[in-house]
C-alpha cells in the first residue's frame, strides 16, 4: 500500500512538472523584428543588440527574432511601417525616411540643412520635438520606444567635387522614394532620380546616374566608391534617426514587466548604437579616403549657400510636418 501511494504521488508530481513546463512554454513568446540592413551595418547591429539584451534578461520568456534586408516586406522598405501597424510585423528598428509617408512628422529630420550637427540631433530627439514625433507615431498604431541613428547623409558623385549649389546643376542623383528628397535636389538644380538600391548600383556603374546620397557607414560598408563614386562631399544635409518600435496591439498584449524590459533594452541598444556609429565616423572617413575618394568639407559660408538655396523647400514642407513640431525642433537647436 505504501509503495502504491508513493508511485501515485510521484506520478502526480511528474504531471505537475509537465503542466508547469507546458505553462512556461505557452508563456514564452517570440516577436519578429524587421530591419532594412543586415548586421554588417550599424543599423542591423542595433536590432541584433536589442535582441541580445532581451534574450539575456527575459530568461527565455521573451525573444526577438531579427529579419534583416526588409525580408518581411519582400524587400520594399517603404512598406515596413504599414506592415507593423497592421500586425504583419511585431516590431522594427526603422528609418524616419522610410516611415515618413505614413507619419508626416518624421519629415522633420529630412528638412534640408535644418539639423546641422550631432548636438542638434540630440537636442531634437531628446526634447519636446522628439516627444511630439513619438506621439504622432503612437497615434498611428505603433508604440515607439527609443532612438537610434543611421547618421548624417552625405552626397557623392562620379564627375567632380561638390562645394556649391551650382556644382549639382544637371547631375542625375539617385534618391530614396520621398517627395521631400525630390524637392530638395530639384531646388539645388540636380536631376533627382528615384530608384531602389538594387537598380542604383548598375546605374551608377555605367554612369546612367551620376551620384547618390547615404551616410558614411553605408558608403563604407557597401563600398560605394567601387561603383564610380570617387567624389564625396560632407555636407550633413539631413540626419536619419532610427526608431525602435512595436505594434500597438502586440505591446498591449504584453505584461508590465515585459513592456518595461522591451523599452529599457531598446533604449540601451539605441544608446549603444548611436555611440558606436559616431565613434566610427572618423575611422570610416579615413578608410574611404585611403581607397582614393576625394573628400570635400564645406566652410560655414559654403554650407550657408546650400541653406539659402533650399529655403523654399523648408517653407513648403514646414506646414506638412507641423509648425509646432518644426518650431519645437528649432528652439531645441538654438538652445543646444
d(Cα 35, Cα 244) in Å, to the nearest integer? 10
Which cell is 109 given?
A: 529630420
pLDDT tens track for 297-309:
999 999 999 999 9
d(Cα 243, Cα 91) in Å, to the nearest integer? 10
Question: What's the confidence (pLDDT) of residue 108?
Answer: 98
**Does residue 164 contact residue 190 with C-beta atoms inside 8 Å?**
no
d(Cα 261, Cα 277) in Å, to the nearest integer? 24
List the beta bridge partners of residue 63. 30
Question: What's the confidence (pLDDT) of residue 197?
Answer: 86
Whether the per-residue pLDDT at 35 is higher than 90: the answer is yes
Helices and strands per DSSP (H, E), number in the chain: 15, 10
Which cell is 218 given?
A: 553605408
Q: How many residues does the chain have?
A: 336
CATH fold for domain 29-335? D-Maltodextrin-Binding Protein; domain 2 (3.40.190)
Whether the per-residue pLDDT at 7 is higher than 80: the answer is no
Q: What percent of the chain has pLDDT over 90?
A: 88
Whether the per-residue pLDDT at 113 is higher than 50: the answer is yes
Question: What's the confidence (pLDDT) of residue 177?
Answer: 85
Helix axes 323-335, 118-125, angle to 10 degrees: 130
**Does residue 290 contact residue 100 with C-beta atoms inside 8 Å?**
no
Find where cell 546643376 sits: 169
Whether the per-residue pLDDT at 286 is higher than 70: the answer is yes
Whether the per-residue pLDDT at 173 is higher than 90: the answer is yes
User: Quick one: average pLDDT of 125-154?
Assistant: 98
CB atoms within 10 A of CB 12: 10
d(Cα 136, Cα 196) in Å, to the nearest integer? 27
Whether the per-residue pLDDT at 8 is higher than 50: the answer is no
User: Quick one: average pLDDT of 46-64?
Assistant: 96
Closest CA to 182 of 213, 226, 148, 140: 213
Mean pLDDT over the full length of the chain? 93
SS3 34: strand
Which cell is 167 given?
A: 556644382
Q: pTM of the entire structure?
A: 0.90
**Does residue 153 contact residue 119 with C-beta atoms inside 8 Å?**
no
Model confidence at 5, in pLDDT bands (50, 70, 90)? low
Question: What's the confidence (pLDDT) of residue 196?
Answer: 86
Question: What's the confidence (pLDDT) of residue 9?
Answer: 55
CB atoms within 10 A of CB 281: 17
Domain boundary assignment for the chain: 29-335
Backbone CA torsion sign across 265, 270, 275, 279: positive
User: Quick one: average pLDDT of 6-11?
Assistant: 48
Amino acid at each position: 500500500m505504501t509503495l502504491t501511494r508513493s508511485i501515485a504521488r510521484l506520478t502526480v508530481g511528474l504531471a505537475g512538472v509537465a503542466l508547469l513546463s507546458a505553462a512556461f512554454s505557452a508563456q514564452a513568446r517570440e516577436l519578429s523584428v524587421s530591419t532594412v540592413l543586415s548586421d554588417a551595418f550599424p543599423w542591423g547591429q542595433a536590432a541584433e543588440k536589442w535582441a541580445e539584451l532581451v534574450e539575456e534578461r527575459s530568461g527565455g520568456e521573451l525573444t526577438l527574432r531579427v529579419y534583416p534586408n526588409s525580408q518581411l516586406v519582400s524587400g520594399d522598405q517603404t512598406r515596413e511601417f504599414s506592415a507593423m501597424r497592421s500586425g504583419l510585423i511585431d516590431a522594427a528598428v526603422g528609418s524616419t525616411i522610410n516611415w515618413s509617408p505614413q507619419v508626416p512628422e518624421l519629415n522633420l529630420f529630412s528638412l534640408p540643412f535644418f539639423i546641422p550637427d550631432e548636438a542638434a540631433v540630440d537636442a531634437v530627439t531628446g526634447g519636446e520635438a522628439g516627444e511630439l514625433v513619438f506621439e504622432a507615431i503612437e497615434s498611428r498604431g505603433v508604440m515607439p520606444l527609443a532612438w537610434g541613428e543611421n547618421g548624417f547623409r552625405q552626397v557623392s558623385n562620379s564627375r567632380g567635387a561638390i562645394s556649391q549649389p551650382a556644382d549639382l546643376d544637371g547631375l542625375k542623383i539617385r534618391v530614396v522614394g520621398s517627395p521631400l528628397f525630390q524637392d530638395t535636389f530639384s531646388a539645388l538644380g540636380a536631376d533627382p532620380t528615384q530608384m531602389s538600391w538594387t537598380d542604383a548600383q548598375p546605374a551608377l556603374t555605367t554612369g546612367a546616374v551620376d551620384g547618390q546620397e547615404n551616410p558614411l557607414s553605408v558608403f563604407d560598408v557597401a563600398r560605394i566608391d567601387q561603383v564610380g563614386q570617387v567624389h564625396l562631399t560632407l555636407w550633413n544635409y539631413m540626419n536619419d534617426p532610427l526608431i525602435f518600435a512595436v505594434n500597438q496591439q502586440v505591446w498591449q498584449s504584453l505584461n508590465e514587466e515585459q513592456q518595461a524590459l522591451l523599452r529599457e533594452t531598446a533604449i540601451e541598444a539605441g544608446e549603444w548604437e548611436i555611440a558606436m556609429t559616431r565613434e566610427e565616423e572618423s575611422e570610416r572617413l579615413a578608410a574611404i579616403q585611403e581607397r582614393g575618394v576625394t573628400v570635400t568639407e564645406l566652410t560655414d559660408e559654403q554650407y550657408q549657400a546650400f541653406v539659402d538655396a533650399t529655403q523654399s523647400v523648408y517653407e513648403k514642407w514646414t506646414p506638412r510636418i507641423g509648425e509646432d513640431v518644426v518650431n519645437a525642433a528649432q528652439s531645441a537647436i538654438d538652445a543646444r
